[in-house]
Amino acid sequence: MGRIPGAGPYERIAAALQDEFAAVHPAATVLRCVDAARYGALEVLGHAHPVLVERIARRHLQVLAMGAAGRR
């Protein structure tokens, strides 16, 4: 995070998701998901509203968690 100017709300999203997924994913994975969600929204829509970025990142983290649980 912080690579993009004005990333403040996205840092807060990352912090909240890190808390939510602390038992499942390392902080670096959460940061990558938030970054990927933000860049994807920017590329597809031309803007990245924080609510949308949070929804995309959360869903991605949930899918990753399901995949990890299936490998155990």
- Give the separation between CA 42 and CA 1, rounded to whole angstroms: 15
Q: Quote the pLDDT of residue 2.
A: 44
Q: Which residue has the tokens 């597809």?
A: 44
- Give the separation between CA 6 and CA 56, rounded to whole angstroms: 19
Are 48 and 42 a contacting pair, CB within 8 Å?
yes
pLDDT digits (tens, 9 = 90+) for 21-58: 999 999 999 999 999 999 999 999 999 999 999 999 99
**Three-state DSSP class for 46?**
coil
Q: Whole-prediction pTM value?
A: 0.84
Q: Quote the pLDDT of residue 3.
A: 52
Structure tokens given for 46 = 């031309």
